[in-house]
Amino acid sequence: MEKLSPLQIERLKYQPKLPSSLSNGINSLEMTEGSATQSVRDQEQIQNLFKNTYGKPVVTFKTSSAVSSSEVRNVGVILSGGQAPGGHNVIAGLYDALKSANPANRLYGFLGGPSGIIDGKYVEFDDKFIDAYRNTGGFDIIGSGRTKLETEEQFQKSLEVCKKLNISAVVIIGGDDSNTNAALLAEWFVKNNTGIQVIGCPKTIDGDLKNDRIEISFGFDTATKTYAELIGNIQRDANSAKKYWHFIKIMGRSASHVALEAALQTQPNITLVSEEVEEKKMSLESIINYMCDIIVRRSNNGKNFGIAIIPEGLIEFIPEMKSMISNLNDIMASLESDPSFMSAPSMREKFDVVENRLEPSNAKVYNSLPALIKSQLLADRDPHGNVQVSKIETEKLLIEMITTRLNELKSLGDYTGKFSAQSHFFGYEGRCAFPSNFDADYCYSLGYNAFALINFGLTGYLSSVRNLTAPASEWIAGGVPLTMMMNMEKRHGEMKPVIQKALVKLDGPVFKQLEQNREDWAMNDRYLFPGAIQYFGPSSVCDLTTVTLQLEWSKTPANV
């Protein structure tokens, strides 16, 4: 028998809470429909691409006094994209709901992400299988993958596998790209009269899959609490040693929600927000000057230490860096077939070839960068041929450039302090943590609710559980049409339908909270120490939601 830690044993026993509307079971529900919906933008193009699934209403569930019967259904489930805490509970909630509706129902898990439904690789869940993964982190129950479901051949193969298993519904658990794939698959299944439904569940620790009906994506709560604990520990160390500046890069490429939430939980001295950098067209030099100003002023007060939070995707939001990276992406394919580049005997000579190929303004930016960053910009590309921004050590770039700037100030007599820096990157540490009670409850509810959507015959919907700052019993379960969240964006040179990412709103209450406190936190050490995620104890601690969620939905956060 596998040996489990004491916490594993206790977490397996935890019974997640459900909204009251779902707690009496799937067969005691009634559904209310709202008015017809439309996409967030590009309505004509989206409607044309989703002729069979566009414009559906938002739906809400409530408890019914009548009890209905449920026909036998086989359902398939896919974990798609990067891991996020709580994914196992989505599957557990889905399993419990379908077995509650009809014990003869069967749930199949496709292995390795979307490729599992294409290649016909699957497992069937039973009680023992599911029970071993309840309230645990990770996606190891069936694995995940990033295969896109978008071609006619992939749809045909998926249909063949579903027919073989007599599957009448597929649940795709993923982020914006994965749920875009869910919308495309749902449309294709309806168009071809397959009778197979598709339901999505909102997953991403980045927090950029949300709107009025999807208040938060699952995993964000646990990941940000995990990072906040680590930042708090470093802040305590910095405040003890009083001799290091810690530069902490945090996961979140397209949006800064994770960095912003972690900052509000810990109150560091400097927090950069990518969306602000882009909006204000801040150059790399202006960012360095802003950070150096705080470092010098703190040093003048006898504080040669501090904490700086940096979003993972920052470098792409700096205008001149964004332009240079775009230009670099365009020329890399030709460089890889260029003998002068491929056979260059040194990195210095490779840099020279790149600079000669870049447009003059972009070449100047590239030339100004430290050799380490230049090399990382030329490293392996992502599957689309683009720079892998997550592998660029932005925190080290900032440290090196700040060091150079401080030395200049020292030579001018404008700085007399000591600057010693440590760098950190928190990413994978948060993706597979034991889900917080909030994520355990929320994910279980999302999965349970996904089967309710299936049971009412819906397709092309995203499982929606909202009113999340209230106790779980008061949460509102329902569904949002996937097409409602879509717009057209350029991908690989073509306009494609995609779910619109939700970036940090600079006029919103979350960023405003940071903005109002930024100067105070810069100069005075208002550090908060959140500590480890708590699973047992008072609800005010164990069931606490993120500061982001509380601010966005007009609640007063306990720690701000």
The DSSP secondary-structure symbol of 447 reads H
Tokens of 188: 């294709």
Name residue 33's amino acid.
Answer: E
Out of 42, 177, 206, 208, the active site residue is 206
Q: How far apart (Å, rounded) are the C-alpha atoms in residues 449 and 445?
A: 6
Please list, in sequence order, all residues whose beta carbon lies within 8 angstroms of the beta carbon of residue 343, skipping any fewer than 6 positions away: none
Q: Which residues pair with 106 in a beta bridge?
A: 74
Residues in the chain: 560
What whole-number distance in Å separates Cα of residue 163 and Cα of residue 185?
Answer: 15
Give residue 437's identity as a one-letter amino acid code: N
Rounded to whole angstroms, how far apart are CA atoms 545 and 549? Answer: 7
Instruction: Specify whether the CB–CB gap between 109 and 122 falls below 8 A.
Output: yes
Among 126, 45, 49, which Cα is nearest to 92's? Answer: 126
Give one DSSP letter per residue of 97-161, joined into a string. HHHHH-TT-EEEEETTTTHHHHHT-EEE--HHHHHTTTT--SSTTT--------SHHHHHHHHHH
Taking the C-alpha atoms of residue 273 and residue 293, their distance in angstroms, rounded to an integer, is 17
Q: Give the chain's end-to-end CA distance (angstroms, integer).
A: 46
- Decide the pairing of beta strands 57-63 and 29-36: antiparallel
For residue 337, count CB atoms less than 10 angstroms from its CB and return exposed for 0-12, middle for 13-18, buried for 19 or more: exposed
State the Cα–Cα distance between residues 483 and 327, nearest whole angstrom: 33
Instruction: Give dist(CA 196, CA 71) in Å, integer.
Output: 14
The whole-angstrom separation of Cα 378 and Cα 452 is 48
Contact assessment for residue 285 and residue 369, using Cβ atoms and an 8 Å cutoff = no
Which letter, b or e, does each residue of 249-269 get, where b requires 16 or more Cβ atoms within 10 Å of its Cβ?
A: bbbbbbbbbbbbbbbbbbbbb
Can 382 be counted among the known catalytic residues?
no
Catalytic (active-site) positions:
206
